[in-house]
Amino acid sequence: MDDLTEMLKGTLEGCVLEIIGGEETYGYAITRQLNELGFGDVVEGTVYTILLRLERNKLVQVTKRPSEQGPPRKFYALNAAGRRELATFWAKWEYVTTRIEKLKEGGR
């Protein structure tokens, strides 16, 4: 599905949080995982800016590790604040989706 960018905007940060919450990982792997999920529009730059924001908001713990090729890679893991943020994201998601579903079914 193309042109999901606008719709994804508000939720991508939560998706990245969820992926990091699974296991410690790095930017490229996160992008790949999102692509495999079917979000082909997501490029590494997008994920990079999200990771920057998460780092700035102190939701992740960052570890630099040397990689086989190129400069050292930054690995990201959720800290306590990040896990709280993730729980909040899912709560909001639940709220929005149930209401939109209701709307779709013609309920008020």
Partner 1 sequence: MNIWETITGSDLTREYKAFDGRAQALPADHRAAWEQIKAELLPYGDFTGRNLMPILDGALGLLEETAAQGQGVDEVLGDDVAGFCAALAGGEGSRTYRDRWREQLNKNVAKKLGRLGG
Question: What is the binding site for partner 1 (CB under 8 A)?
Answer: 27-28, 41, 43-46, 48-49, 52-53, 56, 67, 69-71, 73
Q: Which two tokens stand for residue 15?
A: 């998706």
Least gap, CB of 37 to partner 1 (angstroms): 16
Token pair of 86, please?
């993730």
CB-wise, 52 or 91, nearer to partner 1?
Answer: 52
Closer residue to partner 1 in complex, CB, 1/108: 1
What angle, rounded to 10 degrees, do the helices at 44-56 and 27-37 form? 120
User: Least Å distance between CB 39 and partner 1?
Assistant: 12
Shortest distance in whole angstroms from residue 5 CB to partner 1:
8
How far is C-alpha 31 from the chain's CA centre?
A: 9
Q: Specify the residue, 22 or 70, whose C-beta has the smaller distance to partner 1.
A: 70
Smallest separation, CB 19 to partner 1 (Å): 18
